[in-house]
A and B are shown apart, each in its own frame.
Chain A
Amino acid sequence: MEKIVTRRFGQENSHHLANYLKDNGYAAARKAITQMTPAAVIDEVKKSNLRGLGGAGFPTGTKWSFIPQANPKPKYLVINGDEGEPGTFKDKYIFELDPHALLEGIIITCYAIGSHKAYIYIRGEYIKSLQRVQEAVDEAYKSGYLGKGIMGTAFDIDVVVHPGAGAYICGEETALLESLEGKKGFPRLKPPFPAVVGLFGCPTVINNVETIACVPPIINKGAEWFAKLGSEKNGGNRLFCVSGHVVKPGVYELPNGTTLREIIYDHAGGIPNGRKLKAVIPGGISAPILTPDQLDVKMDFDSLKAIGSMAGSGGIIVMDDTTDMVWAAMIAARFFAHESCGQCSPCREGSGWVYRNVKRLYHGQARQHDLNNLPGIVNNIGGNTICAFGDAVSMSVGSYVSKFRGEFEAKIKVGYAESNH
């Protein structure tokens, strides 16, 4: 199977410019700038069926085409490398092992959308990523791949590396923009969307690291080649981050549409110690949880949506039959309560309320009405908030209750019995 993003990960010093150049590095950028029009680049990316790999799965080429070229303001490209979704750790490897692939993707994207400045927003805890990317940027400046008139062409581009400060919500694209502007990371009201009013009020494209790293191979090998790798409307491969109760946790680059069963059992080595699988989160903690009977789902955006979950950021969290699902729900709820930005009322007050409710259930201190109320409370958050965080609380915590209600009921009975002593 052909690797794209991870193809150079095994090499020694794969992050050095010299090694990247040996592997035909920056050829795609040169090709785009010297042989293609910006519109042709966008067209190629559209045809490749590349979709936003941060989690939303929005067609990348289409997103780029939303930039209003008649707008006299500067255009910006922002790379979302906040990677805060629990269970997700793929961008980190790109930052550390192939930063020049990202930079080349940035050059091509900027050329396509008419931007001369890109910001790479990197999760603050990723110290090594920050170092590696900054080194790569410095190298690229020194060798004329960034800066004025790059590679002897007339194209100028500047790249700024910006560390985040640790808030999960800053991975939400408009909160990220606020954060970049030096403000508190609060998601913005939409519309206007960033393509029209983005960073510093200017048209802005925000893309995930992995998405942009896919761009140079598309330009090099063509849209058709890329589209064929994935499933029908979801071209290319995907980095799946497998964690939890598997024999070989890690990042796996596999074609979009590979089944969940294949990923867990064939690639990640199955469940250790001969235990049975109980539940899987397929796309980061925000994605509704799946049960063993759903393992044959194809891992692409549309197939997962069809069964009521989502592909999200590709973070697969596997839980075996020793897992207490009420405990798992509590961990998820605690995360959401901790990370809610607090801007709008349903999420601010609701996420904490949900956490306290599940916590009581877990500790056997809840009564039947607490459990009965939980799905309703959770539902009232989703759909009523400024950003998708509220939906995540709803869908994620809601799925534990609906799929493992029996375990929640049991907690009440145990707690009730114990408290009667």
Chain B
Amino acid sequence: MPNLTIDGKQVEVPAGTTIIQAADKLGIDIPRYCYHPALPVSGNCRICMVEVEKQPKLQIACYTPVADGMVVKTSSPKVLEVRKTVLEFLLVNHPVDCPVCDQAGECKLQDYYMEHGQYDSRLGDVKVKKEKKAFSIGPTVMLDQERCILCTRCVRFADTITKTSEFGVFNRGDHSQLDVYPGKQLDNSYSGNVVDICPVGALTDTDFRFKCRVWYLSQTKSVCPGCSMGCNITVEWDKMRPHQHKKARVMRLKPRHNPEVNDYWICDKGRYNYKFIDENRIQHPQLKDDIISWDQAIDTVSTAFKSLKDSNRTNRIGVIASAQLTNEDLFVIRKFFKETLKGAQVDFRVPEKPGDSDNLLIKADKNPNTAGAVQILQADAEVAGIAQKAKSGEIDVLYVFGHDLVKLFGKETVEQIAKKVKLFVYQGSNVNDTCSYAHLNLPSSVYAEKEGTFTNCQQKVQRIWPAFLPMAESKGDWEIISLLSAKLGAPLPYQHSQEIFKDIAASMASFSEMTYEKISDQGMILKA
């Protein structure tokens, strides 16, 4: 393997590695516009030029392969001068409309100018005017041609990742402009990613545009709950400006790099699946039409459970858990319903139609934790059977986690269930049609308010982190069950989800030796 020196640091990398990859490995940041690790090299922006000893001309780091004994300088005076130069060229026809540009704050032109530019402007000329400014090129993305630096990342993304080839660079010289092909729209399942990879303000997100300046945003690592792929994401939120966007906290979701799961990408469905976090939430525990306190709510449920437990009729408890819940939630549900209330009928496998899927990231199973639910819940009943029994009066307490039974079984069935069972509990984060039939609604928190883990379709256990506190009176799912368990005289020793996970790791072989620290932000595969 070639051994080379970059800025005095030695590194050994496989043959065929480029200088920029070797530098990345060393943590040396070489500026880049057109280079993206997941896309073919184009070599057009020229800002990554570095000095290679014994070579008369500067070389582009993104394309030049390393060689044994190579000595590279990434910040010699010659290199710094060329960076300045390239930046100046890129700004010749750039409108520099940062004050009204949504990219401001996360723009590579701004960033590199602060780092390497800072020259007095020589750009007194009239700029080349391009055709499209703030132009919609599809349902989710806006194009501004004059901000475009023609790095062609988006072109290469559409050519090689989605293979849909919507983009092209038209015309030539300084009249070159990025556009979608005539008659085409940028409308594939992964369109939003071009906004992420666009280093400047040329491609912006129609959904996010002008909602929030990016420097107001806080970032929390998470995992997309939209399907069983479990794409790694960052929840980007803002609580400083509650007067805007109806107090919404989450402003956007961004993909988070995980080479083993989603690489740099997420699908559009996942990207825009965040409004439910702040909208249409169940705010308070509610018994029929009355808002009640948590104490009253816990009392109501525990009284019903206690009488069934005391009379050995726990088999008249039906529980429809969910693969939307975390492993920790499910572990506590199992402990409570299958140990404390042993005999209760528990399952999570609702009869859902498989959703759309593709070969890239989108999976037909729209739950983030089916693998975890299978492992942890060890369900022995069946949802269809539970519903049937509830309908025929063989169940007294039906406890549903998050599912919309109306959608699954139809209005009439749910109406009948509500009439037949003595207590119909709906524990969930958002209002749906089932809520109006449930006797008791318990507000639970959404994934962005939770700490815990999901197990994806690759059997990879991945962590989610709470971005902010649960909305209004909502509580975490396992926390609600803990309250019930305590009320029934079986207090659980958990203050924090990490303690639950320790118990999962201690009691289940496939999780053995896993800890939150080890899982970290890249996940860990379950043991076979």
Is B43 part of the contact surface with A, judged by Cβ < 8 Å?
Answer: yes
3 smallest A-B Cβ distances: which pairs? A342-B176, A352-B174, A340-B173
Question: Which residues of B in the span 84-130 have a Cβ within 8 Å of any Cβ on A?
Answer: 85-86, 88-90, 92-93, 122, 125-126, 128
Contact indicator per residue, chain B 170-183, by CB within 8 Å of chain A (1) or not (0): 01111110000000
Contacting pair B172 A342 (CB below 8 A): yes
Is B149 part of the contact surface with A, judged by Cβ < 8 Å?
Answer: yes
Contact indicator per residue, chain A 330-357, by CB within 8 Å of chain B (1) or not (0): 0000000111111111101111110011
Q: How far is the CA of A377 from the CA of B121 in the complex (A)?
A: 13
Question: Which residues of A in the span 365-392 have a Cβ within 8 Å of any Cβ on B?
Answer: 369, 373, 377, 380-381, 383-386
Q: How far is the CA of A351 from the CA of B176 in the complex (A)?
A: 13
Q: How far is the CA of A342 from the CA of B90 in the complex (A)?
A: 12
Contacting pair B173 A342 (CB below 8 A): yes
Min Cβ gap B59→A in Å is: 11
Q: How far is the CA of A169 from the CA of B57 in the complex (A)?
A: 22
Please choose the segment from B44-52, B291-299, B328-336 that sits at the chain A interface, where 4 or more of its residues have CB less than 8 A away: B44-52
Is B511 part of the contact surface with A, judged by Cβ < 8 Å?
Answer: no
Report if A345-B125 is in contact (Cβ < 8 Å); known contacts: A351-B174, A384-B86. Answer: no
Is A167 part of the contact surface with B, judged by Cβ < 8 Å?
Answer: yes
Q: How far is the CA of A189 from the CA of B40 in the complex (A)?
A: 12
- Checking B41, B46, B172 against A384 with a beta-carbon cut-off of 8 angstroms, the contacting residue is B46
Report if A348-B46 is in contact (Cβ < 8 Å); known contacts: A189-B41, A353-B92, A373-B122. Answer: no
- Checking B49, B58, B125, B176 against A353 with a beta-carbon cut-off of 8 angstroms, the contacting residue is B125
CB closest residue in chain A, given B45: A345
Contacting pair A352 B128 (CB below 8 A): yes
In this complex, which of B46, B58, B172 has the most chain A Cβ atoms within 10 angstroms of its Cβ? B172
Q: How far is the CA of A356 from the CA of B127 in the complex (A)?
A: 10
Query: Which A residues lie within 8 Å of B488 (CB)?
Result: none
Is B169 part of the contact surface with A, judged by Cβ < 8 Å?
Answer: yes
Q: How far is the CA of A181 from the CA of B86 in the complex (A)?
A: 30
Is B348 part of the contact surface with A, judged by Cβ < 8 Å?
Answer: no
Is B63 part of the contact surface with A, judged by Cβ < 8 Å?
Answer: yes
Query: Which B residues lie within 8 Å of A356 (CB)?
Result: 125-126
Is B150 part of the contact surface with A, judged by Cβ < 8 Å?
Answer: yes
Q: How large is the interface on B (under 10, 10 to 19, 20 to 34, 35 or more residues)?
A: 20 to 34
Contacting pair B90 A345 (CB below 8 A): yes
- Checking B43, B58, B82, B93 against A386 with a beta-carbon cut-off of 8 angstroms, the contacting residue is B43
5 contacts between A and B (CB under 8 A): A169-B172, A342-B150, A342-B174, A346-B86, A348-B150
Q: How large is the interface on A (under 10, 10 to 19, 20 to 34, 35 or more residues)?
A: 20 to 34
Contacting pair A385 B174 (CB below 8 A): no
CB closest residue in chain B, given A188: B43
Contacting pair B85 A384 (CB below 8 A): yes
Report if A352-B43 is in contact (Cβ < 8 Å); known contacts: A384-B58, A384-B82, A384-B85. Answer: no
Q: How far is the CA of A292 from the CA of B366 in the complex (A)?
A: 79
Q: How far is the CA of A276 from the CA of B196 in the complex (A)?
A: 61
Query: Which B residues lie within 8 Å of A357 (CB)?
Result: 125
Query: Which B residues lie within 8 Å of A353 (CB)?
Result: 89, 92, 125, 174
Query: Which A residues lie within 8 Å of B89 (CB)?
Result: 345-346, 348-350, 353, 380-381
Residues of chain B at the chain A interface (Cβ within 8 Å): 41, 43-47, 49, 57-58, 60, 63, 82, 85-86, 88-90, 92-93, 122, 125-126, 128, 149-150, 169, 171-176
Min Cβ gap B289→A in Å is: 66
CB closest residue in chain A, given B152: A343
Contacting pair B86 A340 (CB below 8 A): no
Contacting pair B150 A346 (CB below 8 A): no
Report if A343-B44 is in contact (Cβ < 8 Å); known contacts: A384-B49, A384-B82. Answer: yes
Report if A344-B45 is in contact (Cβ < 8 Å); known contacts: A349-B93, A384-B82. Answer: yes
Report if A345-B169 is in contact (Cβ < 8 Å); known contacts: A340-B174, A383-B57. Answer: no
Contacting pair A342 B171 (CB below 8 A): yes
CB closest residue in chain A, given B63: A189
Contact indicator per residue, chain A 378-421, by CB within 8 Å of chain B (1) or not (0): 00110111100000000000000000000000000000000000
Min Cβ gap B39→A in Å is: 14
Min Cβ gap B120→A in Å is: 10
Q: How far is the CA of A189 from the CA of B45 in the complex (A)?
A: 12
Known: A345-B45, A345-B89. 7 other contacts (CB 8 A): A189-B43, A340-B173, A342-B173, A350-B89, A352-B173, A353-B174, A384-B85
Query: Which B residues lie within 8 Å of A169 (CB)?
Result: 172
Contacting pair A342 B175 (CB below 8 A): yes
Q: How far is the CA of A383 from the CA of B79 in the complex (A)?
A: 13
Q: How far is the CA of A339 from the CA of B175 in the complex (A)?
A: 11
Query: Which B residues lie within 8 Å of A184 (CB)?
Result: 169
Contacting pair B45 A339 (CB below 8 A): no
Q: How far is the CA of A169 from the CA of B173 in the complex (A)?
A: 11
Question: Which residues of A in the span 293-350 have a Cβ within 8 Å of any Cβ on B?
Answer: 337-346, 348-350
Q: How far is the CA of A356 from the CA of B90 in the complex (A)?
A: 16
Min Cβ gap A305→B in Å is: 15
Query: Which A residues lie within 8 Å of B173 (CB)?
Result: 337-342, 348, 351-352
CB closest residue in chain A, given B41: A189
Min Cβ gap A341→B in Å is: 5
Min Cβ gap A295→B in Å is: 31
Contacting pair A350 B92 (CB below 8 A): yes
Q: How far is the CA of A285 from the CA of B276 in the complex (A)?
A: 64
Min Cβ gap B408→A in Å is: 52
In this complex, which of B45, B57, B82, B92 has the most chain A Cβ atoms within 10 angstroms of its Cβ? B92
- Checking A337, A369, A380 against B174 with a beta-carbon cut-off of 8 angstroms, the contacting residue is A337
Q: How far is the CA of A352 from the CA of B90 in the complex (A)?
A: 12
Min Cβ gap A168→B in Å is: 10
Min Cβ gap A415→B in Å is: 15
Query: Which A residues lie within 8 Å of B41 (CB)?
Result: 189
Contacting pair B85 A380 (CB below 8 A): yes
Min Cβ gap B40→A in Å is: 11
Report if A385-B85 is in contact (Cβ < 8 Å); known contacts: A349-B90, A352-B174, A353-B125. Answer: no
Query: Which B residues lie within 8 Å of A386 (CB)?
Result: 43-44
Q: How far is the CA of A369 from the CA of B122 in the complex (A)?
A: 9
Contacting pair B43 A385 (CB below 8 A): no
Contacting pair B85 A342 (CB below 8 A): no
Q: How far is the CA of A386 from the CA of B62 in the complex (A)?
A: 13
In this complex, which of A353, A377, A385 has the most chain B Cβ atoms within 10 angstroms of its Cβ? A353
Q: How far is the CA of A350 from the CA of B90 in the complex (A)?
A: 9
Contact indicator per residue, chain A 92-124, by CB within 8 Å of chain B (1) or not (0): 000000000000000000000000000000000
Min Cβ gap B151→A in Å is: 9
- Checking B63, B86, B126, B171 against A345 with a beta-carbon cut-off of 8 angstroms, the contacting residue is B86
Contacting pair B92 A352 (CB below 8 A): yes
Min Cβ gap A68→B in Å is: 19
Q: How far is the CA of A169 from the CA of B82 in the complex (A)?
A: 24
Q: How far is the CA of A339 from the CA of B126 in the complex (A)?
A: 20
Report if A342-B45 is in contact (Cβ < 8 Å); known contacts: A353-B125, A380-B85, A384-B85. Answer: no
Q: How far is the CA of A380 from the CA of B49 in the complex (A)?
A: 13
Min Cβ gap A158→B in Å is: 31
Min Cβ gap A373→B in Å is: 5
Contacting pair B44 A345 (CB below 8 A): yes
Contacting pair A383 B125 (CB below 8 A): no
In this complex, which of B122, B126, B128, B149 has the most chain A Cβ atoms within 10 angstroms of its Cβ? B122
Query: Which B residues lie within 8 Å of A349 (CB)?
Result: 89-90, 92-93, 174
Q: How far is the CA of A337 from the CA of B92 in the complex (A)?
A: 14
Contact indicator per residue, chain A 72-104, by CB within 8 Å of chain B (1) or not (0): 000000000000000000000000000000000
Q: How far is the CA of A184 from the CA of B171 in the complex (A)?
A: 10
Min Cβ gap B252→A in Å is: 29
Q: How far is the CA of A356 from the CA of B126 in the complex (A)?
A: 9
Min Cβ gap B87→A in Å is: 9
Min Cβ gap B218→A in Å is: 34
